[in-house]
Amino acid sequence: MSLRLKISTVGEPVLRQIGRELTVDEVKSPETQRLIEQMRETLRDAPGVGLAAPQVGASLQLAVIEDRAEYHQGIPEEELVRRERTPVPFHVVINPKLRLLSEPDVIFFEGCLSLPGFTALVPRARRIEVDCLDHKGEPMRVEAHGWYARILQHEIDHLNATLYIDRMLSHSFVSMENYGRYWKDKSIEEVEKLASCEVRGR
């Protein structure tokens, strides 16, 4: 029997609802533990690096994170270094409280399982701190930087009814097909210059 859940896509109301916090007893309950396992399988099947409960129809303050080494294959080493991207083991964040430790001025292309087929430049903080509960309901503090910090910011946004399209540089919004065709090999600076220019005729 498949554990994969249906992923909600943009336009579904659950993505615009702030998730409800869970009590420790709820975290430990069989229902929540089953949801975590289903979300893990759904994330790996997609595949993706993060999945928030609202993305699978549950308006709860819960997200799962995992950036597997196999996802880095095919990405040039210099690009991984530039993104500060390293493998992140599977873990759960519940009722997260996010603190930005730097300005949201690091810009990279970002996508989302709830908005398949598109990507855009999104500014994020390079360094963050998150206080939350883990999958056992125990308090946990996460300090993250680089791509891991970006993943956490993206998923915590989901828990607060925010999508990356709310933060993106709007003129950089492209289909994945056109990203691969026109923008993949350009520097972020080149794309950002286009994205920040004034729209002609306005």
- What CATH number has the domain bearing residue 165? 3.90.45.10
Q: In the predicted model, is pLDDT for residue 12 greater than 80?
A: yes
Cβ neighbours for 41, distance < 8 A, ≥ 6 positions apart: 2, 3, 4
In-domain check, residue 32: yes
Identify whether 1 is part of a domain. Answer: no
Could you give the CA distance from residue 89 to residue 80 in angstroms, rounded to a whole number? Answer: 17
Tell me phi and psi for residue 199, to 5 degrees: -75, 125
Residue 4 belongs to a domain: no
For 30, the 3-state DSSP assignment is: helix
| Tens digits of residue pLDDT in 150-168 | 999 999 999 999 999 999 9
Let me know if residue 41 belongs to a domain.
Answer: yes
> Which residues does 159 contact at the CB level (< 8 Å), separation at least 6?
18, 19, 52, 53, 54, 60, 61, 62, 63, 96
Which has more pLDDT, 8 or 184? 8
Asked if the structure places residue 180 within a domain, the reply is yes
Kindly state whether residue 152 falls inside one of the protein's structural domains: yes
Could you tell me the two tokens for 57? 């129809």
| Residue 8 within any structural domain of the chain | no
Please determine, for residue 52, whether its predicted confidence score (pLDDT) is greater than 80: yes
Question: Are the C-beta atoms of residues 151 and 43 closer than 8 Å to each other?
Answer: no
The model's pLDDT over 87-131, given as tens digits with 9 standing for 90+, comes to 999 999 999 999 999 999 999 999 999 999 999 999 999 999 999
Question: How many CB atoms sit inside 10 A of residue 174's CB?
Answer: 20
**What integer pLDDT is reported at residue 2 of this predicted model?**
61
Residues 180-200: pLDDT tens digits? 999 988 888 888 777 665 444
- Give catalytic residue positions: 155
Q: Considering the domain boundaries, does residue 33 fall inside one?
A: yes
Could you give the number of structural domains in the chain? 1
What mean pLDDT do residues 135-148 have?
Answer: 98
What range defines the domain where residue 114 resides?
13-196
**pLDDT at residue 165 in the model:** 98
